[in-house]
Amino acid sequence: MLLTGHKALVTGASRGIGLELARGLLKRGAQVLALSRSGAPVKELEDAYPGRVEFLPADLSRRDHVNALIGTLQSEQPDLSILINNAGVQYELDLFGKEQARMIEQARDEIEVNLTSIIELTTGLLPVLKAQPAAAIVNITSSLALAPKKSAPVYCATKAGLRSFTKTLRYQCEEKAPHVLVVDAMMGLVETDMTAGRGKKMITPERAAREVLDGLQKEKTEIAIAQAALVKVIARIAPSIAERILKNA
């Protein structure tokens, strides 16, 4: 899939992997709709690539923002051809902790951002994507979808749910919109704000984004990045070992 000339929506585009995905798409000749809560880092891309970047402010944890975003994109971006669902949040949750109300609030935030908003945004934009000669949906998942870690129960559950949703979405697109490529980009440890202090064997967001876009250009339906490639193999051959490795990650 040649990315030149495509128009791509990237969520969570103000930092980390999302910012590098936006930058990488621009370098490969695409136009970018950069969605995030904060637009400051996106301004740098707007200055470097005038006329090819548009900042879309939205909070994906809010249903009203998601619904308004879908309506705006349907009416104002009829040539949108690539959707990259990258935005995500992670909290360490102690299910036996004393602050139950706060824990439930954080769990709801994770579910909304990491799963519900993605399902809503994807299904809402399917008619637009289907109308293009060639299109793609890329969902950023995690090796924790295969084997969860105990400190992030809801995050791991949302990534497992997103992986399953991505696969079933692919099945339906194969029947009803075969020109829409559906990609599961499974991340290992990437050096972002989310993973700060969690180990030394991390790759840069730039490398992670490059591997995603390389895989997209090769029309791969699954892209395993960094340690995710090894975890995927171990989980298939010896699931209990994969679980033991990631349990205390």
All structural domains of the chain: 7-246 (3.40.50.720)
User: Are 155 and 141 in contact, with CB atoms under 8 Å apart?
Assistant: no
The one catalytic residue in 49, 91, 155, 171 is 155
Single-letter code of the amino acid located at 114: N
Helix axes 153-176, 117-130, angle to 10 degrees: 20
User: Given this model, what pLDDT does residue 197 score?
Assistant: 54
Catalytic residue list contains 155: yes
User: Given this model, what pLDDT does residue 104 score?
Assistant: 97
Give the chain's residues under pLDDT 70: 193-200
User: Given this model, what pLDDT does residue 243 score?
Assistant: 93
User: Given this model, what pLDDT does residue 201 score?
Assistant: 76
100 Cβ partners below 8 Å, 6+ apart? none
User: Given this model, what pLDDT does residue 193 score?
Assistant: 65
